Amino acid sequence: MKYNNIDMQLHSPERNILHLFLFFIFASTLGWFINSYPPELFWHFLGFYFLLGFTLTFLFLFIFCNIRQAILVSTGIIIFFILRSFNLRNPFYSVLLILCLISIEYTFHKMRKIR
């Protein structure tokens, strides 16, 4: 968020409507994929997580207007679902995943400030 020097109001970033359009395309494709293919084969799982990743990435790219944060949050959600599919449902896994994602974001934020 940046402050405008003239009137000191908070400037919100421009949202790209293409990201919202791509989110709806991938969300409808994901819905079709879920209704068409039962989770029997390994490529069904790969296709599901691939489509879910693109859907969440474009959704969070529209919300955050930042590619790094969008990829980081969508990757975290996908890892969370992968852990749940392997029956790793302990709450400590979720806490550890959130802490790892926060530390990765903090590291990238500090690296950007140094440059």
Count helices and strands in the chain by DSSP H and E runs: 4, 2
> Predicted confidence band at 12 (pLDDT cuts at 50, 70, 90)?
confident
**What is the tens place of the pLDDT at every residue in 50-99?**
999 999 999 999 999 999 999 999 999 999 999 999 999 999 999 999 99
With a cut of 60, say whether residue 5 has pLDDT above it.
no
Q: How far is CA 44 from the centre of its chain?
A: 20
112 pLDDT more than 90: no
pTM to 2 decimals?
0.85
pLDDT at 6 over 80: no
pLDDT score of 40 more than 80: yes
What region does 2 belong to: left with phi over 0, alpha with psi -120 to 50, or beta? beta
Assess contact for 4 and 11: CB atoms under 8 A.
yes
User: How is the chain split among helix, strand and coil, in percent rounded to 5?
Assistant: 75, 5, 20
Whether pLDDT at 8 is above 90: no
